[in-house]
Amino acid sequence: MTRRVGAWLNQRLTQLAERHAPQLLVPVGIGPDSAVTLLITMGDDPERLSTEASFVALCGVSPLEYSSGRRSSRPLDHGGDRQANAALHRIVFTRLRFHPSSTQAYYERSTQEGKTRREIIRCPERYAAREVFNLVRTASSVPPL
């Protein structure tokens, strides 16, 4: 029973993603669940998000500048849509596992530079958010959900 419901749900999400933004299902790591979640985050009018930075901030993956004395850091913004953030996280980890040419090479390089796992994941999450934004914005027409 659970498998049938899961299969039906996956099929329905795939249909929704193919209807509204089929270009989102092309890149590695973006499945129907992540595509639909990110489309919902963009809303029925993706034109209201004027820049990539606005979508990145809406997803909660934009860095915040923080400094105290001589020390400065860039923690992530924990605001924004947490479901969109989780979708971007799934995309990054899928790419880490199944896309060795770019994402894993970046991970290896950053590990050798001494960055923490959390610091390493930030950049690919922002990259994935920018990629989704550009894929949806360049589509000729996106019918409302």
Can you tell me the mean pLDDT for 13-25?
Answer: 89
| Distance in angstroms (rounded) separating the CA atoms of residues 103 and 90 | 13
pTM value?
Answer: 0.82
pLDDT of residue 16: 87
C-alpha dist (Å) from residue 1 to 4, 5, 13, 15, 38: 5, 6, 18, 21, 28
Q: Indicate the SS3 state at residue 52.
A: helix
Phi and psi for 31 in degrees, rounded to 5?
-95, 180
Closest CA to 118 of 54, 70, 74: 74
Q: What share of the chain is helix, strand, coil (3-state, %, to 5)?
A: 65, 5, 30
- Average pLDDT of the residues of the chain: 84
